[in-house]
Structure 1
């Protein structure tokens, strides 16, 4: 599941996960320049605090204990953040009524969706489909992909909602490909191209790499510009209502 989600994450400087829980995506992805993890469950937050002080990882990791909705409301957004949300799934979508220590009911999900509509950065949210999320996605034009995920009760179809188009450039390509065979095929192609590059004359190789770097940078800037234009159009007064960052 984490690999499928990571294959949808665009480039970013700051990674924010306000419902970190077990942190499966955070643990599997390449470190961002800076990461902010948060959870309302004191035990979960303490676990990640201990982890952050005892584990050597790239980039800085900040851990907060508190409400995800308050964090999202007060964070001073710069535009280069990416938010991954894995909240307690909506009660209407679950087979079991209570499976979380810190629950979120229908009202909490409605408040979360309202916040996400105003968020001036790219985000992705995991969950099971339900009428509330289908309606919100249809209203705001959010993209959704579905995939099989293993749960305590067996295989279920999980959904990932995103407020941005399918990215042409990813934050990383560790898991590029939709399944093992495709990842293997891409890996072998990479190896063949690397061998060809190694065999080239150094000037020719550097000319090719320079052209590829320029094209990649132009593509990334275009993606960022389109995303920012969409955010500016949807939230023209975001800067005027920007709140100070939550303490921590």
Structure 2
């Protein structure tokens, strides 16, 4: 199944995975087709969350071998990203990496295509506030198109831009990370 915002385009998931720090627990909060989760080396514990029950069902049906290979260490759930993160027990999860790939901000899109479960500007702000308030044992990678809202809300986070092929042609993708290059966890937060 093809997903709007999929990271399956050539070079996209590779660039995201190349930025991942070492981690014991991996959480993908907007699973979609799970391109990144399916291609990265598995962590000790792996969580895939998506608000759309049909998306979760499709992921489960399309990836039986992956599910079987990580049977005791993989949890795929229907749920809201922020709600999941607010209730997750970070204290016993070791080093956590969260990859968040929410629906693109409307103002950054060149296409009229829509997600089944859209995000309002308020939803984006709620997600950003949640990601900024996570414990220092959590590293975050956030995907999107270049955005003033994200840049303003994520001051102090590093970012990288790269070109990706979309249904509408080449676009600049951006990832924001809350840890310095070469470090797993932000030293200025974990003092």
TM-score category of the 2 structures, normalised to the smaller one: 0.7 to 0.9
Aligned to 1:4: 15
Show structure 2 runs of 5+ residues with no match: 1-11
The C-alpha deviation readout for 1:96-131, integer Å capped at 9, x for no partner, is 344211100100000011111101210101100121
2:77 to 53, 64, 68: 64
Q: CA-atom RMSD, angstroms?
A: 1.8
Aligned to 2:102: 87
Structure 1 contact 52–61 (Cα < 8 Å) conserved = no
Deviates more, 1:51-60 or 1:118-127: 51-60
Aligned to 1:156: 171
Aligned to 1:173: none
Show structure 1 runs of 5+ residues with no match: 168-222, 234-248
The Cα of 1:66 is off from its aligned counterpart by 1.1
The C-alpha deviation readout for 1:49-84, integer Å capped at 9, x for no partner, is 345655432461101101111011111113411000
Pair 1:127-2:139 in alignment: no
**Cα separation, 1, equivalents of 2:65 and 2:162:** 34
Look up the SS of the partner of 2:154 in the other structure: helix
Aligned to 1:205: none
Aligned to 2:9: none
The C-alpha deviation readout for 1:85-106, integer Å capped at 9, x for no partner, is 1110111111134421110010
Alignment of 1:1-248 (within 5 A): 1-50=12-61, 54-55=65-66, 56-58=68-70, 60-78=73-91, 79-120=94-135, 121-138=138-155, 141-167=156-182, 223=183, 227=185, 229-233=187-191
CA gap of 1:10–1:65, structure 2 versus 1, over 3 A, is same
Q: With the length of structure 2 as denominator, give the TM-score of the two structures.
A: 0.84
CA gap of 1:27–1:118, structure 2 versus 1, over 3 A, is same
Aligned to 1:174: none
**Cα separation, 2, equivalents of 1:137 and 1:228:** 13
The 4+ residue runs of structure 1 with deviation greater than 4 A are: 51-54
